[in-house]
Structure 1
Amino acid sequence: MKVLVVGGGGREHALCWKLKRSPSVSEVVCAPGNPGIQREARCVAVGAEDVDGLVNLALSERPDLVVVGPEVPLVLGLANRLREEGFPVYGPDKAAANLEGSKSFSKRLMYDAGVPTARFEVHVDVEEAIETIRSWGAPIVVKASGLAAGKGVIVAQNEKEAIDAVRDMLAGNSFGEAGSQVVIEECLVGEEASCLFIVSGDTILPLASSQDHKALLDGDKGPNTGGMGAYSPAPCVTDAVASEVLETIARPIIAALKKRGAEFIGTLYAGVMLTEEGPKTLEFNVRFGDPECQPLMSRLKSDLGEVLLAAATKQLEGVTLAWENGTALCVVVTSEGYPADFDKGQAIGGLDAVEAAGTTVFHAGTAEKDGVIVNAGGRVLGVTAVAPTVKEAQQTVYAALEHLDWPGGFYRTDIGYRAVAREEGK
């Protein structure tokens, strides 16, 4: 079958890479794609947020399946439009995508559905928000309610930091429309994990567990980012934890959406904190995580095209997934200065040597200029390896990164450190 993938980041590169290797898939088309994706798919220059352009592209290409990678086109209703034209789509309709598009909607839905999560309040008024912060104390979490590319979350260690964040979002317009409403939450303590599910109506198929590293710097210090690296599986997600997340978080939220007339088809991403009281929900996303998608696709043995088509056509019941043993680990290389300002257009060399050292390089924020790969975004590369142990996967990636010729590139040096410590019995 022919598959159209929407998006141009590291997640979409991983999806195209896996779909190209799926026996059920004869051709992969990607819009808009990137220089790395060009090796796996035919790229067409239609933007991921150009809903009309993407519908016209689908009408022209007539794919057997459309896979929508990023959250923005889903929130804009791309899946609705494509389904109206008769295409099988992997990705939720606009109403269900609101689970990620509005944190205030998501938190209220969790509360109504009895899904375990942090105590919260929603505010649009600066002074009322400050009053809550002073009443609750710190540490405390301040979130922009709308889409902020994974960066609209401030884990404030003191009240001043939280108040500055609220003023920045509500009065300073630092996140635009996304920050016109803020969610203030109690700060949960524990280990964070990513639990993803392929959902098709009432059928929920868990993916392997993974763990992201959202903070910019080693030891989980510094500002939040869209993700600095990830690995799968996450040892902290035992079989018992995975079962609890499925029954107390995934099933209730999908049922709550359905009750409101929003049937979910696509990936449900539950970011959970493993607290002493059990798993609690930090956030929901409505698509594959980035960078979690890269290690997940690297470990998946099943035919991805077959699985996603089954979900899109409501035939997922009875489908199972097979995984490679061992660990897949991805280190994200960013532009120096991310998540704040950074320079673009810097030449990136050594990519072939990085891959020759036993990794797969997934492109995220890259472009091609005069035949040279250059950086075009904040998160630029996802260097990924699969090995029998977390330590070996980690060592493979970092050894390979020594071949990267990009002085303006930056990456954490400790991705997977929690799992390595567990492996070594520390």
Structure 2
Amino acid sequence: MSASVTAAAPGADLRTYQVAQAASTFGSTLTGTAVSVVAVVGLAAGPHEVSLIVAAAMIPSLVFGPAAGVLLDRVSRPRRMLLAADLVAAAAVLCCAATMAVGVLTVAGLAALSVVLGGARVVIEGLYFVHLTTLGVTDLARARAGLQSTTMVSRSVGAAIAGPLVATVGAATMFVCDAVTYLFSAYCLTRLTAPDRRVTERRHGFGREFLEGVRALRGHPLLFALALYLLAGGAASGGVAALRAVFLLDEVALPVALYGIPAVVATLFSAAGALVAPRLQARAVRARKVLAVTVLGCAVGTAILPMATGPTAAVLLAACLGAAVPMFFGAVLNIALVTVMGAGVGDGYFARVGALLATGTTAANLLGAVVGGMLGERYGARAGIWMFVAIDLAASLAFLLIVGRAPADDDRTDETIVQVAR
């Protein structure tokens, strides 16, 4: 009897952990919408103020990401850190709700909230895959795929209902709901039965450990090739995002009432991609094959957007496909990278390599957004988007060429599939 209970414990802990992460992700997605609504509607913030709030959320990843990766790889009790991150995030959101209730909330307060939540996200994303090793999970690849797909489905659902929900219950209530999800996540972590301890490598100097993470990334052919693609593809993604609204609303005159539809469709496609990816992993499809298809699919899908022309129905269809197809392939790509990282560089380097990829992609997104604004001003939004599509296609073809030249029997580039969000 005791043997069966012990055997069942890892599965029960894994399910509890998945519920915790799904709840936390769902709540943070709601907060993202609530912050925007409060800034624009409640505080009359303009584009400059809103951009500051958005940039504030990226500061922790850009400034502290690589250093945090080194520190997080040293953590021997990841559950305690995850629990602390949930509690800090809950406290920050509750403070924001309280200041809003008494009428003293400011744009600076929303920016501060974004910084705190961004910092919590750096900790959570650096540890929540590594934490699986403490739960007695035997098939880490499948567990990571399931955890990532659950998280992405939760994010997609949250994004789809956030708009109607904030209009119904109000932004302040959304903040409280988010705090509750963080607290629920923390409660789930306290209910895990497996010991909170993982084996860490002997510590060296900070600089040496950072360079070891760089070498681990550089020494894995598939990861390094994908990192190079993500820099170019991330810049293209940021540029297209910066020009999308101007292109759809001004150049092709999509009605404002229909503008939100492509985002809803894209979240549904993202959820579908998150559900498809684990099935590919279960069928042992090679990682480089999946990554090659998804990288090219993202670029080709983005090329649909600047083709939008003609009547409103045709414009809306192109806008939906141009947003949804890259989101579908991007979701599969995100999940595919998890096992490549886990099997290729190991848990000892997971946070460092993940932080390097995330920081590089975030910086590329910001650079692309800035360049996109300049290109749009000079050449127009449609021409600017086509330029970024060309960059993305060229980068994806270069990735295919590099991966195609890798030896077929190189197990470092041929792991079975299953993060960085592009």
TM value normalised by structure 2: 0.24
Higher percent of residues as helix: 2
The structure carrying a bigger strand percent of its residues is: 1
* Greater relative CO, 1 or 2 (CA 8 Å, sep 6+): 2
